[in-house]
Structure 1
């Protein structure tokens, strides 16, 4: 695994890139804006892609545990012109399929295609198809960091000691290009590390995403509330145990026990999950990647996952009833 990342505090002093790179960020949510802003502050030329007709904000402003503003270019996604050194894809999993075939046109043989999707990622069973990025150029990133978009171009950042952006290849290889990307990010104040065990990190994060996210969207509770209320804590522990069993069957395992993962959630406190934010805003939910995909894997292994199935059923029902949205 790569070396420890320097802390990304509220200041921006010392952020000066030796050579600025051209970077495209697809996705104007909290993490897309965070990465775009930090990389721009480090001297890179960053373009944030917008859906056609979406008004462009004036730069990016961070509040909370980090306070800074960054100038970036905004462009309709159809007007992006590569090749870019990095194409960072930070859209929701359900928005990815129509984008995938167009990504290769944004780069060349040296471009790194970086994916920050939650849940079971699109490359899980291999990469095949015309127009898709080459496998050796795909970087999966498992994010352990909390940020919330509060308005277009504006984010609230939460910092904890455990913040990490774990970067790896789908096949587990760690090469010079991957190390260089992580170094660029660390230089920008992003706590990036490389990992040869990307699948393990996906399962480890899914322990939280497949339980905290749907339960918060159903109840309207924050991460800290779910982790400390005895009734919901019991649901989290049981659901996380199901994910841990699937990870073992997959041969990857997980880094934390359910008890450790719930304890970390309690430390995070009053953070709203991305799925709760989406539900409150009336946006589609990442139900398929976070729940349907691991349930399908469980069926293949013959594993019973009653908690995951219950969360999936409750979320599917409540998602079709807007009047039941938590307030």
Structure 2
């Protein structure tokens, strides 16, 4: 099996490094800068609850130097996807499956869904259908990255806590040979990665978590555990989750994990800093727009209001604009 991970941030490095430790899987990484240099020289160093491991992979900044792949993880920020759609062409063969990012609601959300919204294209999330054409939904597998990790040095990634659930699913809910094969590989790599028939519901779970925890972390500069220890903050996050859950339910994808269980998840990695806070501390742009676009596009389709979410995002926009 050939797997390429396009993007060597925390999640991409963790997936690539763990898969590279599985016999029979040839892993390559498309990276740049210090990450590329470090991975090329010394591999990917992973530290997690079970210990440490260093995995060696083929690393490049030129996808054309790689072979056609069986699976390509696009481990990028949502807003970076359009910038790389042309460069991934050398990786794609007749049977290549693509796993796009799921920071927010993906452009292919309604593909293969029965009912009134079946195959509906969401123009706000994919203006003009550019991604729909460049990464056809029939090539897509959904994967939800429910794991806390951060790059601690070039080529080194630390997984916070032991929770690492990455469910996989076909957009139409079927259990295909390709999704079973990838699930087996991911499980062999140490992830809890079952095949699910409701990948949209899991997408909502991840998106809602990012939408609710990330902004309050960036506004308060608090770790996950510090947020969870504040009853007032937890109440705000709870109301945000309930508003987003109502939109999900209206569009056929109720999250499979209850709000209180999602709130409790913060206690599993109390020292973890949410990705938006990590970006803020490193002087990077805050990736809130895909989340805002996702909830606003979907709530408009559902015809529902999200007043608490709107208020928190208004504060976050002001924070982001201050640099």
Common topology (TM > 0.5)? yes
State how far apart, in whole Å, the 2-side matches of 1:266 and 1:52 are: 34
1:293 CA drift (Å): 1.5
- Distance change in 2, residues 1:295/1:192 (3 Å): same
Matched, 1:247 2:228: no
Matched, 1:210 2:236: no
After superposition, what is the alpha-carbon deviation per residue over 1:108-133, rounded to whole angstroms, capped at 9, x for unaligned? 11112122431212322448658623
Q: Which moved more, 1:312-321 or 1:77-86?
A: 77-86
After superposition, what is the alpha-carbon deviation per residue over 1:241-298, rounded to whole angstroms, capped at 9, x for unaligned? 0111011111211122322211222333121111111111122222122222212221
* One of 49, 70, 76 as aligned partner of 1:91: 76
- Distance change in 2, residues 1:52/1:145 (3 Å): closer
Contact 1:90 1:117 survives alignment (8 Å)? no
- Distance change in 2, residues 1:267/1:40 (3 Å): closer
Q: For 1:1-327, what aligned pairs fall within 5 Å after superposition?
A: 21-43=1-23, 44-51=25-32, 55-57=36-38, 58-65=42-49, 66-126=51-111, 132-160=134-162, 162-322=163-323
1:55 CA drift (Å): 4.8
Instruction: Give the number of the structure whose residues are more often helix, by fraction.
Output: 2
- Distance change in 2, residues 1:28/1:187 (3 Å): same
State how far apart, in whole Å, the 1-side matches of 2:158 and 2:191 are: 15
**SS in structure 2 of the partner of residue 163 of structure 1:** strand
After superposition, what is the alpha-carbon deviation per residue over 1:189-235, rounded to whole angstroms, capped at 9, x for unaligned? 22211111011111122221111011101111111111220111111
Q: TM-score, normalised by structure 2?
A: 0.86
Q: Which moved more, 1:126-135 or 1:116-125?
A: 126-135
Aligned length: 301
**SS in structure 1 of the partner of residue 305 of structure 2:** coil
Give the CA RMSD over aligned residues.
2.1
- Distance change in 2, residues 1:63/1:267 (3 Å): closer
State how far apart, in whole Å, the 2-side matches of 1:301 and 1:184 are: 37
- Distance change in 2, residues 1:146/1:261 (3 Å): same
State how far apart, in whole Å, the 1-side matches of 2:151 and 2:18 are: 15
**SS in structure 1 of the partner of residue 285 of structure 2:** coil
1:136 CA drift (Å): 2.9
Q: Which moved more, 1:304-313 or 1:231-240?
A: 304-313
Long gaps (5+) in structure 1: 1-20, 323-327
Long gaps (5+) in structure 2: 112-120, 122-128
1:148 CA drift (Å): 1.0
State how far apart, in whole Å, the 2-side matches of 1:233 and 1:54 are: 36
